[in-house]
Structures are given as structure tokens and as C-alpha cells.
Structure 1
Amino acid sequence: MHPDLAFAIRRRGGVFTVADARRAGYRPDEVRAAVGSGAWYRLRRGIYVTAQTWAEATDDRSRHVLHALATLTALGPGPVLSHTSAARFHGFLLPRGVDTDVRLTHPDQWRTGPGYRITAATLTADDVLRAGALSVTSAARTLVDCAREWDPADAVVAMDAALHAERVRRRDLVATVMAQSHWLGIGGAARAVQLTDGRAESPLETRGRLGLLAAGFRSFESQVELHGPAGFVARLDGWLDDLGVAVEFDGFVKYADPRDQRTPAEVAWDEKRREDLIRDLDVPVVRIVQADLPRLERPIRRLDELRTRPLPGPRRYRIVRTPEPGSDDGDAAA
């Protein structure tokens, strides 16, 4: 490859134009031959990547970024990668079936074209970060923009995961909501931020928590430690303090593809022994699995039964709360 074309590719973040190739000395027949042979892969009219670059982009995020770079190359400077495109760039969790359009924001433009949509909206300096050849909305701005359009549960799932991974801070989400106080859909985004809990460790935990809250179990807390007379017993996925009930969110992958080089049988055995220790403290355990979503009919029936059970007497355990990742809170115990 000619050094001038290689330089243009680096400058554009991996894509290049026919004009870049012509400036590097490639004749029209050489361009056609490179495209026809598959050495160059067409992203948009007159905009390409090398076959190697396309082959190395093996996941949805990487290929979407290349399409975004191609779109921005065609449009020229100004638009900023945003909404679902920025969510893909940041690696946030996306709802199933989300469209593949390149989403962009510009202070003065609102238009659509083949494979892209530009939204007109204010962008502050704090809202935008530079990543190589791309300008992209910040983590907080991206999540709030998406939450204004997504189903509330999908928005909370994405925010929970970002908070848990310390990819965003709660105070930045709140500040972004406040800055968009009169924007379309901001009420839903504000409610999503209010419902977030960065202690949730999976979408199942987030959706299960939302289901329990919707069913009226308001005392739910995520990721607490259970301590008995001899000390630490278990870390619980969830806790209903008014009922004294542990809630466990059980994903199949824990058994099918266990961590720490354990076999599925060892995982199942360890889980059984752990649950025995919890029940020994007179703490019932209610499990929620993916099949229980979204209505949680089976777990809620069981919780309603436990609500009416006679209390076993003074609690022989204590609960230690854990702060949300990235929060400014210290350790809390009760």
C-alpha cells in the first residue's frame, strides 16, 4: 500500500475515500480492481476499508464504528456520534432489536439519510469527548439520550451495568438529566436514573429487582452480606429486610460455563452448601431465573406465602450493606 494512502487511513480512523486513493496515485482501473477482488470493502459510496480491517472488526461494536467513520467522512465535520451509536462505542448494553442506523447529534441539523439520522440538540464541552478520529457523546450524555427513547427497563439495565463497571457516575447522570429538563422524553430518563442500582451484577438482577418493586416489595436491597454468629456466611444477590428473605438471581451460564476452573457439578454443590448455611439462620431463599421474567408470578407467589409465615424469633444474623460502585459512601452496616 502506498504510504500516502496508509497515512490517510490512519488519519480517518481506518476508512478511506476514492479521492484519498487517487491522491496517492491509484488509477481508476486499480481502484476498480481492488474493489472487485475484495481487497477493499465498500462501506458507503466512494468510502472503503481494507479487507484486513474489515476482517479484524469481528464484533457488532467494531463494525458499527467503521460504518460511523464512513458516514462522518461522507458528511464532513460537525456531527457527533450519539444515542445508540455512542452506546455501541462505549460498550453499553443495548436492547434486543435496536436499529443499526448511525446516530449523530449536531447543534443545528436535524435530518436523515441512507443509514444515518442526525438529531439537532445542544452539545456542551462536557457532553463530548474525542476518541481518535471520532467525536462521541460522553458516557452520561449517551445513557440519558438513549433513556429518553428506550423502554424504561432497557434504560435501567444499561445504566446499572455502566454504574457497576464504574463507566459512569450517578452524579453525572443526574446532572445530565437536569441539563435536559425540558427535552422530549426526559421524564422517562429521570425515572430510569432514579431506579438505577450499580450493585446489580447482571441484567437478570436488574429486571428482577424492577419486577419486585413493581409488585410492591419496596424493601429490596442489592448485594448485601449475611453474617451469622460465627461471622460471614454469604453475599446475597438481594435482600427483603421486612420479610427477612434472601433473593437469589440464578443464571444458567453460572452452571454451564463456570468460572475459576470449577466443573458444573462443583458449582451446583457449592451453591447447595451455601444455601444450606443461609437457611440454617432461618433465612428463606427465593430464586429468580430468566424464565420468571417479566411478571415474576412464581417468585411473587412464594414471597406472598412467606409474608404470612410466623416469625422464627429474634434474628440470629446481621446484614452488612455494600456501597454502590463509584459512590462516595463509606461502608454501611445494620
Structure 2
Amino acid sequence: MDPRILAAFASHHGVLRRTQLLDLGMPPTEIRRLLRSGALVLLRRGAYTTREIWDAADRYVARPLLLARAAVALTRRAWVLSHDSAAHALGMAILDPRDPYVHLTRPGWTNAWTGERGQAPPCAVRVAPGGRGRRPAGPRPSTDRRGHRS
């Protein structure tokens, strides 16, 4: 694979959108060929990582975090990570998650992408344009695996 594309994966925390690959000069036929050969892994429709990054990622934290970053990369409005996804981005230890969901919510709205009601929980993580999560200012709340304060 082109070193520029590998460098772009590294600088975007292992996740690139299809449009980014096209902007880097990779033709659609090459994307399809790399997907068929297994060199690229489809995280979500339009979001990819490399086989090396995916294989090196553990299934408990790193892979769910890649999936969460892919979801955020594909959103068009200001979404924040919440629940298990926020815990992974913040490096918080959580119990073994029973569901493989990516949790996103929009601050100030009454529903969340996961179907839950309510504002962004206190553990919500805002994702900067580079894909790096950052916690809002203030003390870090202790949360259970569903994002509720204890």
C-alpha cells in the first residue's frame, strides 16, 4: 500500500473514510481490490482500517474504539461518544461489554443514536477533528457500564 495512505491511517488513529482514500489518489477499483484481498477492513460503510491495525487491536478495547472512531468519522453533525464508547476513548476500565454497540449522542437533544433518551451523560466525550477524544472540564465521574453515575 502507498506510504502516504499508511501515514494517513496513522495520523487518523487507524480509520479513514472512503472520501479520504479517494482524495489521497486511491481509485475505487483499488479500494475494492484491497477489500477483497483483506488488506483493508471495512469498519462501517465508508470507513476502513488496515488489516495490520485490525489484527493488532484487542477485541475488548481497541476494536470497539476503532468502530466508535469510524462511526464518529462518518457523522455530519456534532455527536459525542457516550457509555462504553466514551469509556474506551478515555481509557477507563469497564466490565466486559455484552453488546458490541457504538454509543453516540447529540448534546442538547432528547434522544441518542442508541435509542436511549436523555442528554449527553456526564461521561460524554467530545471528539476533536483528529479523532482524539477529550473529556469535558471538571471532575471525572465514576460510571457503571451503562454510563450512569454511581
TM range (shorter): 0.7 to 0.9
User: How far does residue 85 in structure 1 lie from its aligned partner after superposition?
Assistant: 1.7
C-alpha change, 1:142 and 1:135, in structure 2 (3 Å) is: farther
C-alpha change, 1:39 and 1:127, in structure 2 (3 Å) is: closer
Query: Does the CA contact (< 8 Å) of 1:86 and 1:136 recur in 2?
Result: no
Q: Secondary structure of 1:93's match?
A: coil
C-alpha change, 1:140 and 1:102, in structure 2 (3 Å) is: same
User: How far does residue 106 in structure 1 lie from its aligned partner after superposition?
Assistant: 2.2
Aligned partner of 1:133: which letter? G
Q: Secondary structure of 1:13's match?
A: coil
Equivalent residue pairs, number: 145
CA distance in 2, matches of 1:97, 1:55: 20
- Structure 1 or 2, whichever has the larger Rg, is 1
Q: Which has the higher helix share?
A: 1
> So what's the TM-score if we normalise by structure 2?
0.75
User: How far does residue 136 in structure 1 lie from its aligned partner after superposition?
Assistant: 4.7
Query: Does the CA contact (< 8 Å) of 1:104 and 1:117 recur in 2?
Result: no
Q: Does 1:52 align with 2:46?
A: no
User: How far does residue 51 in structure 1 lie from its aligned partner after superposition?
Assistant: 0.4
> For residue 101 of structure 2, what is the aligned residue in structure 1?
101
The CA deviation string for residues 50-95 of structure 1, in whole angstroms up to 9 with x for no partner, is 000001102310000000010001114522222122223424231x
Aligned partner of 1:98: which letter? R
C-alpha change, 1:107 and 1:136, in structure 2 (3 Å) is: same
User: How far does residue 133 in structure 1 lie from its aligned partner after superposition?
Assistant: 1.7
Question: Any residues of structure 2 matched to 1:58-69 within 5 Å, and which?
Answer: 58-69=58-69
The CA deviation string for residues 139-197 of structure 1, in whole angstroms up to 9 with x for no partner, is 8346168463xxxxxxxxxxxxxxxxxxxxxxxxxxxxxxxxxxxxxxxx4xx4xxxxx
User: How far does residue 137 in structure 1 lie from its aligned partner after superposition?
Assistant: 4.2
User: How far does residue 127 in structure 1 lie from its aligned partner after superposition?
Assistant: 6.6
Question: Any residues of structure 2 matched to 1:86-125 within 5 Å, and which?
Answer: 86-89=86-89, 90-94=91-95, 98-109=98-109, 110-112=111-113, 116=114, 120-121=118-119
User: How far does residue 123 in structure 1 lie from its aligned partner after superposition?
Assistant: 7.3
Higher relative contact order (CA 8 A, sep 6+): 2
Match of 1:133 among 124, 131, 134: 131
Q: Secondary structure of 2:49's match?
A: strand
Question: Any residues of structure 2 matched to 1:194-209 within 5 Å, and which?
Answer: none
Percent identical: 28
Query: Does the CA contact (< 8 Å) of 2:81 and 2:124 recur in 1?
Result: no
The CA deviation string for residues 261-280 of structure 1, in whole angstroms up to 9 with x for no partner, is xxxxxxxxxxxxxxxxxxxx
User: How far does residue 4 in structure 1 lie from its aligned partner after superposition?
Assistant: 4.1
Ranges in structure 1 where 5+ consecutive residues have no aligned partner: 149-188, 193-334
User: How far does residue 135 in structure 1 lie from its aligned partner after superposition?
Assistant: 2.5
Q: Secondary structure of 2:8's match?
A: helix
CA distance in 2, matches of 1:73, 1:6: 17
Question: Any residues of structure 2 matched to 1:178-257 within 5 Å, and which?
Answer: 189=149, 192=150
CA distance in 2, matches of 1:142, 1:134: 21
C-alpha change, 1:100 and 1:117, in structure 2 (3 Å) is: farther
Query: Does the CA contact (< 8 Å) of 1:127 and 1:141 recur in 2?
Result: no
